[in-house]
Structure 1
Amino acid sequence: MKTFHLEFGRLGGFLLRLMFTRAGWWYILMIAFIAAGAARQQINLMILLWALMIPPLVINLWFSGSMLSKIRVTRHLPWGVCAGDPFGVELEVTSNRRYFSVRGVSIFDPLQWEISKSMRSLFDYPGKHTPLVGRVHFASIPAHKTCTASYRGVLMHRGRYRLGPMTLRTEYPFGLVRYRKVIPETAELLVYPQLGTISSRWKELQRRRQEELSHLSQTRFGQRSGEFHSLRDYQTGDSFQWIHWKTSARLDRLVVRQFEQPHGRDTFLLVIPWIPENPEPIDYAYVERALSFTASMARDITQQGSCQLGLGIASTKPEFLLGPTSQTLLRDIFVRLAVAEADPEFSLKEYLRKYSNRIGSNHTLIVVTTKKLHLPELETVADPEDIWHLGGLYENMVQLIVPEGDLDELFSLDGRLSEDSNALLTEAGV
């Protein structure tokens, strides 16, 4: 959780605004009417009534201004949230007043999506015309006490969101005058790509592919992976190096060693968020689907067990992450995917030239792209001594092209995500 402390004083750098409410303007008009009548008719009762109407206005002016002084606000918000998932922002308000309670204070916390310029012209996104605002109301905050309230919402688009500046407002006690204080401090909320479900078909395809690659490696080089587990009967394709000759002679049949396979296979996820020069909304939808699939894959791999997991984003601002699976690595992957931007210019050649030697040749390379790739010739990508390593990556590569429907049977979103989805903010009481 991220926490932000905001100190309020009577004079410190905050914008204090005073305005009369509609009731206040009618009240002033009534005072003026009575004052004019009293001055013209010289009626003592009207003069007395005019005099009695002045104190409530003065008291309201004084109380409303003093209500917002000596207040300390703490905002609690999550480090990040996935698109489509509900989230909450908690506000703690502490009154440092000595005697009187703070009453009737409302806090407005605007939220703005920091969308890129290219997407700004395409989408009528939430908050473009009417800002999204979270609101909480505190009926009473006793002196030297802390009260909490929260608002909840759902954001349907990944990216950076800017919270603030907050506005405090009160009309206490008579509702004739409204004081507002604008606090310039802001906070940032990251919205990760929407998560979905990886189908059993994908898992079955990966299992078969892993068995084929393992069998091919064993047939070619007699290699094995994992620790010794047990003995079993010989099967066609098993390496002769695995035969346990003493046991085979005693049983009068061939018996081979069986090795325990590791819990997870090292995986590197490479995303290419390509869009054409003149994109349409559907092009951005392809990018979002690719990023959602990648985030869901990273989550599932992290849950499966210990292995190496990596993320690459091939764009003008390339990203590279690689390490053992952990919640820290998963959060870093989500952060990179949250701020990834669609790009009409990318160079797979340059990306592989820069990072291929840092990816193990035993990694499964899953390339999720919005454009069909023409794999560059090995000689043009790597140095001669790295050609063998890059060839191993190509052998273990799986290419998924989003516009061609490669993800349709492999992945489904938990909820429907579209460019016109609205972000809803709801207020919660104290």
Structure 2
Amino acid sequence: MATKPDTPEPETDAANRPERQVPLAAVLSSLAGLGLMLVFWQRRGDFRAWHDALELAFVTGTSFLLVWGLTELIGAIFFRTSKSDARMSVAGPPRLGTASWLGAVLLSLGAGGMLLVPLNSTFGFLPVSLMIVGAGLLFYGGKRFVDRLLKRRDTPSITQGVALTRPGAACLVIAVLLLAGGFLGPSNMLMLVFAMVVGPFVVNGWYAFGMIRRLGITRTVPAQVVAGDPVTVTLTLANRKSRLSAWLMAATDVVERASGDESERLVAETLFPRVPPRESRDAGYRLRLMRRGRYRFGPVRVRSRFPLGLVERSLTFHLPGEMIVAPRLGRLADRWNREAAAADELVQRRQPRRGAFPDEFEKLRLFRYGDNPRMIHWRTSARQNLLMVREYHEIRDRDMMALLDLTAAPGDEDALLRVELAVSFAATICIDQLQRSRQSALAVAAAGREATNWSGVAHPASAEPLMRILALVEPTNEPDLAPLWEFARAHRTPTTAAVLVSTRPAAEIPRPPGAGWLRIMSVADDGIQEYFALG
């Protein structure tokens, strides 16, 4: 479960820091370089028969493998932070991976060795071995590069990954020590123990590689939620293999605000205990996002360390998703309702007439002395043998216009809180108008980073597009209020109730000419609590 706090803090403590993973290519390079150096040290006399250039190339290539592998290992363990998170960022253009470059180096060393070392000599197998290993790595890396380059645009890109866990790294260190002891001894018993230690490592890597093959994942997320409400995001993992089940698959999803603020980044995790072959399973996590705005999802990283936890294989699905977090709704106080009702009583207006009566029919009732005879419903009166009249409900719905002045300096936390309060206040006014009104018009405009406006009929179906508009408005240091006044002049009628909600103090709010029709509310003043409170 992932929860969004009101004031998120960077995850810097040790408990929240992700485990650093050891790159497998660096480990293999270090082992290959160390093994070849041991061979060169033990058989130094045999190497003297080689040509000087070949001996130099062998030592240079071996040193390169050893130094590069150790450098990558030391950097991954001690200096690089959150490397797994970095791999989960938005994927860039396809590029050759480590396996391709390592294969090219080994292939070059093997080709040079074949020119200098006869195949029928004692060490003639070394160039051939280097070429075989290098060709395999180059083919594997090249295939992955071509797959990324030619992937279909309508399917999410998938990136494979492999890494050693801490127990796996410790297992390899012990294996290297046993291998060195077996060479230096020499001791067949140490070589046997070395094989027993390496065996589980190889089995774990092979099984984990088989489990992540032919997997697919989808995400189900609501299009729009309200800030502060819990929301459930569902991940569906599909296992398309015919026989092998997927065990203990951990899925990691990234949620971040579209503004790119690092403090607005969440990493949620969920677990799939078992996914049978040719079936799918659902797992979800819960979010509680306290800030409105647009949030983006992805990528999704699925990984497994089953069964021994020595090798971790992973698939990263660059699966985009989006969710709109609407502003929180509050509660309008009694003072706001009283003043709004008093303003309605003072307004004189004409209603459009479709018939003889301007108001809306409510019910039939018994005739009373003084009722208009034209309101008698003769058919019902004849059926009931009593005089029945039509009663109408007087329509007092007024058109509503809500204007927003969103002023906030960059980095000012208090100003940003006032912005959220102002947007929530305006959203509550609009939703209240949608619920109470029947035939009125509603118009909303905001002056912030960009001028935003919306207008329509006050109907419950208008709530979703209206809340989406209010969710995406952003403040600025000096908003331009001219488009706000132009919008007000274009949509205001004599019966429109207009309110301006501003984040500035009341004395600093600019007013348009002849602003008697405008009701100004400042969320920076303490008196706002008498009109509105967040529920």
Q: TM-score w.r.t. structure 1 length?
A: 0.73
- Residue of 421, 424, 433 corresponding to 1:301: 433
- Report the counterpart of residue 180 of structure 1 in structure 2: 314
2:465 is equivalent to residue 332 of structure 1: yes
Q: Residue by residue, what CA displacement relative to the aligned partner does 1:138-181 show, whole Å, maximum 9, x if unpaired? A: 12111111111111121221122222222221112211111222
By percentage of residues, which structure has more helix? Answer: 2
| 1:84 partner SS | coil
- Report the counterpart of residue 376 of structure 1 in structure 2: 512
- Residue of 288, 291, 300 corresponding to 1:157: 291
Q: Distance in 2 between matches of 1:228 and 1:330?
A: 26
Q: Distance in 2 between matches of 1:286 and 1:407?
A: 11
2:455 is equivalent to residue 318 of structure 1: no
Shift of 1:67: 2.0
2:215 is equivalent to residue 71 of structure 1: yes
- Report the counterpart of residue 271 of structure 2 in structure 1: 137
Q: Distance in 1 between matches of 2:193 and 2:481?
A: 83
Q: Distance in 2 between matches of 1:246 and 1:301?
A: 34
By percentage of residues, which structure has more strand? Answer: 1
- Residue of 187, 192, 201 corresponding to 2:335: 201
- Provide structure 1 residue ranges, at least 5 long, that are not aligned to the other structure: 1-8, 219-223, 235-242, 248-256, 379-393, 415-430
Alpha-carbon distance change, 261 to 346 in structure 1, aligned in 2, over 3 angstroms: farther
Note the 1:352-363 alignment, pairs <5 A.
352-354=485-487, 356-363=489-496
Q: Is residue 445–residue 487 contact of structure 2 (8 Å, CA) maintained in 1?
A: no
Q: Residue by residue, what CA displacement relative to the aligned partner does 1:35-77 show, whole Å, maximum 9, x if unpaired? A: 3334444554443333333332222222222322211211011
- Provide structure 2 residue ranges, at least 5 long, that are not aligned to the other structure: 1-142, 149-156, 351-356, 376-389
Q: Distance in 2 between matches of 1:274 and 1:143?
A: 56
- Residue of 453, 475, 478 corresponding to 1:345: 478
Alpha-carbon distance change, 376 to 296 in structure 1, aligned in 2, over 3 angstroms: closer
- Report the counterpart of residue 410 of structure 1 in structure 2: 531
Q: Is residue 83–residue 156 contact of structure 1 (8 Å, CA) maintained in 2?
A: yes
Shift of 1:361: 3.6
The code of the aligned residue for 1:295 comes to: A
Q: Is residue 172–residue 198 contact of structure 2 (8 Å, CA) maintained in 1?
A: no
Alpha-carbon distance change, 32 to 93 in structure 1, aligned in 2, over 3 angstroms: same
2:213 is equivalent to residue 213 of structure 1: no
- Report the counterpart of residue 153 of structure 2 in structure 1: none
- When the two chains are superposed, the root-mean-square deviation of aligned CA atoms in Å is 3.3
Alpha-carbon distance change, 59 to 244 in structure 1, aligned in 2, over 3 angstroms: same
Q: Residue by residue, what CA displacement relative to the aligned partner does 1:115-140 show, whole Å, maximum 9, x if unpaired? A: 37xxx6xxxx734xxx4211011121
Q: Distance in 2 between matches of 1:228 and 1:85?
A: 39
Higher RCO (CA < 8 A, seq sep 6+)? 1
Structure with greater Cα Rg = 2
Alpha-carbon distance change, 57 to 396 in structure 1, aligned in 2, over 3 angstroms: same
| 2:201 partner SS | helix
| 1:99 partner SS | coil
Alpha-carbon distance change, 51 to 283 in structure 1, aligned in 2, over 3 angstroms: closer
Note the 1:95-106 alignment, pairs <5 A.
95-106=239-250
Q: Residue by residue, what CA displacement relative to the aligned partner does 1:197-218 show, whole Å, maximum 9, x if unpaired? A: 112221122111111224xx59
- Report the counterpart of residue 226 of structure 2 in structure 1: 82
The code of the aligned residue for 1:195 comes to: L
Q: Distance in 1 between matches of 2:290 and 2:374?
A: 64
Give the number of aligned pairs. 356
Q: Distance in 2 between matches of 1:260 and 1:296?
A: 26
- Larger deviation: 88-97 or 291-300? 291-300
Q: TM-score w.r.t. structure 2 length?
A: 0.60
Q: Residue by residue, what CA displacement relative to the aligned partner does 1:336-390 show, whole Å, maximum 9, x if unpaired? A: 1111111233344443335522344422112212234443336xxxxxxxxxxxx
Q: Distance in 1 between matches of 2:248 and 2:493?
A: 62
Q: Is residue 211–residue 244 contact of structure 2 (8 Å, CA) maintained in 1?
A: no
Q: Distance in 2 between matches of 1:227 and 1:37?
A: 97
Q: Is residue 263–residue 304 contact of structure 1 (8 Å, CA) maintained in 2?
A: no
Q: Distance in 1 between matches of 2:232 and 2:320?
A: 17
- Report the counterpart of residue 171 of structure 2 in structure 1: 27
Shift of 1:258: 9.0
The code of the aligned residue for 1:338 comes to: A
The code of the aligned residue for 1:66 comes to: G
Shift of 1:279: 6.9
Q: Residue by residue, what CA displacement relative to the aligned partner does 1:300-354 show, whole Å, maximum 9, x if unpaired? A: 2222242322211134522221112344421111111111111233344443335
- Percent identity between matched residues is 24
Shift of 1:227: 4.4
Alpha-carbon distance change, 327 to 100 in structure 1, aligned in 2, over 3 angstroms: farther
Shift of 1:246: 11
- Report the counterpart of residue 119 of structure 2 in structure 1: none
- Residue of 200, 205, 208 corresponding to 1:61: 205
The code of the aligned residue for 1:337 comes to: L
Q: Distance in 1 between matches of 2:373 and 2:211?
A: 89
- Report the counterpart of residue 193 of structure 2 in structure 1: 49
Q: Distance in 1 between matches of 2:397 and 2:533?
A: 23
Shift of 1:292: 0.6
